[in-house]
């Protein structure tokens, strides 16, 4: 599983990345987590508002800081 956090490095983006890592840890998922800082790359993925979370090319969250629980729930749905 590849998870990308999109954002320019603001506190909200950093919190989003932390929450993603915590959710993966809670679920025992060994994901490849990257942080994309380039707005041109955001546009290529169809994201206009950050922070955003993209899992295997699918935008799960955009424009908000998802909680660990929200991320956990979304990742569980992807695995079911």
Catalytic residue annotation: 10, 13
**DSSP secondary structure of 8-55:** SS-HHHHHHHHHHHHHHHHHT---EEEEE--HHHHHHTT--SSSEEEE
């Amino acid at each position: 599983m590849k998870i990308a956090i999109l954002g320019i490095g603001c506190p909200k983006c950093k919190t989003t990345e932390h929450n993603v890592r915590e959710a993966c840890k809670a679920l025992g998922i060994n994901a490849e987590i990257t942080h994309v800082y380039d707005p041109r790359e955001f546009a290529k993925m169809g994201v206009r508002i950050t922070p955003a979370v993209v899992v295997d090319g699918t935008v799960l969250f955009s424009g908000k800081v998802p909680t660990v629980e929200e991320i956990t729930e979304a990742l569980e749905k992807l695995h079911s």
